[in-house]
Amino acid sequence: MKAPESLKPLSREEEPLLRNLVADRLPQHIAVIMDGNGRWAQRRHLPRVAGHRAGVQSARKVIETCVRLEIPALTLYAFSMENWRRPKAEIDFLMHLLRDYLRKELPLIQRNNIRLLVIGRHDQLPKEVRADIDRAMEQTAGNTGMKLAVALNYGGRAELVDAFNNILDRVRNNGLANARVDEKMISDHLYTSELPDPDLLIRTSGEMRVSNFLLWQIAYAEIYVTEILWPDFSRAQLFEALLDYQKRERRYGGLAEARHRVTA
Ligand code: FPP
């Protein structure tokens, strides 16, 4: 693939990886479970929060690279509903970091024509975090480039519960006694209703779990797990993940093309 101008200069490691990517077979939506910040810090005898700070740099690199590659949608798992079980000091730091990110990164997000969506149960987040989320979403609402969804206080099961309750409300309020639920109706009521389902789910730090992330949406996603810890996840690692994705044969439960041909 010819390097987009804005991706240059490429390192000696990155250049051949990018060249091998097929431009018209890139995923339409990449979802990322950014894991391993704490271990990254511990290995350096640093406090865990230093890993989260370094993780922000990786997020920035991945966001910019996806914009340059013209990937239409990217979802980052920043804070799960289960993350409230962490020590208060770490939660406070993460909330502060995310607010800081939303404020400081806004000019870059605007310059890149990114539309920011924050998915999850906003109402349970601290008031000041909600205010920053609302401002960032409002200010980028007219942007037409990549959709960047940041999952905050997010849980896949909670998302489905919210979707079903919204459907029930609509049925009750509109007297739709004969309505039937179908897959499209469920997809249309998810937080991600504006995004295509992810084609590629990346998880760093080697854990083989989906951790309650986009449970409905990843039904047919290709899963890529790397041992690399999130703060070490570089542009080259993203290219590696994309190359691996392009080697996969996506059959959606059908047969491979060659086997599918009916022989005379
Ligand atoms: C996992 O590391 C990461 C998180 C809990 C999410 C926080 C992510 C960031 C701060 C990255 C920045 C993101 C954005 C969108 C600005 P962990 O603490 O679970 O690591 P461990 O498994 O090694 O303990």
| 78 Cβ closer than 6 Å to some ligand 1 atom | yes
Give the per-residue pLDDT at 262: 52
Position 163 pLDDT exceeds 80: yes
| Domains along the sequence of the chain with CATH | 27-154+198-247 (3.40.1180.10)
Q: Summarize pLDDT for 216-261 with one digit per residue, the tens.
A: 999 999 999 999 999 999 999 999 999 999 999 878 888 776 555 5
Strands 29-33 and 147-154, sheet pairing: unpaired
Beta carbons within 8 Å of 180's beta carbon, 6+ residues apart: none
Position 264 pLDDT exceeds 50: no
Residues known to be catalytic:
35, 83
| 197 Cβ closer than 6 Å to some ligand 1 atom | no
Alpha-carbon distance of 79 to 125, in angstroms, equals: 11
Beta carbons within 8 Å of 246's beta carbon, 6+ residues apart: 21, 22, 25
Nearest CA to ligand 1 atom 7: 78
Structure tokens at 156: 């896949």
Spacing, Cα 97 to ligand 1 middle (Å): 11
Structure tokens at 94: 């993460």
Phi/psi class of residue 96: alpha, beta or left (left: φ > 0; alpha: ψ in -120 to 50)? alpha
Give the per-residue pLDDT at 103: 93
Instruction: Give the CA count within 13 Å in the CB-facing half-sphere of 239.
Output: 21
Give the per-residue pLDDT at 193: 98
| 211 Cβ closer than 6 Å to some ligand 1 atom | no
User: Closest Cα to residue 246, out of 19, 32, 61?
Assistant: 19
Give the per-residue pLDDT at 263: 46
Question: What ranges make up the beta strands (E) of 58-215?
Answer: 73-80, 115-119, 147-154, 200-203
| 97 Cβ closer than 6 Å to some ligand 1 atom | yes
Q: Summarize pLDDT for 93-126 with one digit per residue, the tens.
A: 999 999 999 999 999 999 999 999 999 999 999 9
Pocket test for ligand 1, best of 30, 32, 37 (most atoms within 8 A of CB): 37
Tell me which residue has tokens 């909600």: 130
Are 234 and 204 in contact by the 8 Å Cβ rule? The answer is no
